[in-house]
């Protein structure tokens, strides 16, 4: 018997706290490697920057992989679900428009982990930006074009 997706359960009991940092991961629909197109990745970067300019969240580090992203962000004036809905919605619109596409761009939901007080944010940022190295896409982080970290 086939199982039904349970992504809605990820939202049960979800709590977000202004000022807390979160490590968030979202995946492209059907894991299509659409961010292999640098131009599409830059459109998502623009949405991360917009979230920061609007004071929804302060980006600490992020990397955009071919079929997903990791974003270490400190919440400011929006809840995590509100910010993620806005970023995913706006990026869907701009990316679909750029590639003459329609329909779903992101898989439903996202994964998040609240960062505990005292956790080393620099260590997490380094881990995030090393993703392309671990995936075998590049040998050095500086060779990968779609990442940033406030300290590096």
Domain 16-149 CATH class label: alpha beta
Give bridge partners of residue 72 from the DSSP assignment. 23, 61
CA angle 36, 128, 57 (to 5 degrees): 95
Each of the 152 residues of the chain gets a pLDDT tens digit; together they read 555 555 445 445 567 888 899 999 999 999 999 999 999 999 999 999 999 999 999 999 999 999 999 999 999 999 999 999 999 999 999 999 999 999 999 999 999 999 998 889 999 999 999 999 999 999 999 999 999 999 76
pLDDT at 4: 53
pLDDT at 6: 53
Q: In the chain, where does DSSP find H-type helix?
A: 7-10, 38-53, 80-98, 121-129, 131-134
In angstroms, the CA 104 to CA 79 distance is: 23
Sheet holding 68-75: strands in order across? 111-114, 21-27, 68-75, 57-65, 147-149
- Every domain of the chain and the residues it spans: 16-149
């Amino acid at each position: 018997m086939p199982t039904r997706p349970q992504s809605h359960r990820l939202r049960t009991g979800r709590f977000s706290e202004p000022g807390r940092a979160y490590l968030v991961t979202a995946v492209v629909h059907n894991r299509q490697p659409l961010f292999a197109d640098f131009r599409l990745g830059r459109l998502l970067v623009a949405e991360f920057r917009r979230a920061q300019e609007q004071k929804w969240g302060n980006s600490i580090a992020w990397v955009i992989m071919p079929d997903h992203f990791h974003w270490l962000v400190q919440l400011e004036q929006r809840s995590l679900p509100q910010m993620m809905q806005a970023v995913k919605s706006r990026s869907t619109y701009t990316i679909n428009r750029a590639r003459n596409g329609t329909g779903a761009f992101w898989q439903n939901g996202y994964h998040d982990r609240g960062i505990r007080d005292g956790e080393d944010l620099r260590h997490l940022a380094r881990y995030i930006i090393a993703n392309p190295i671990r995936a075998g896409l590049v040998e050095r982080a500086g060779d990968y074009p779609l990442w940033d970290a406030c300290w590096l």
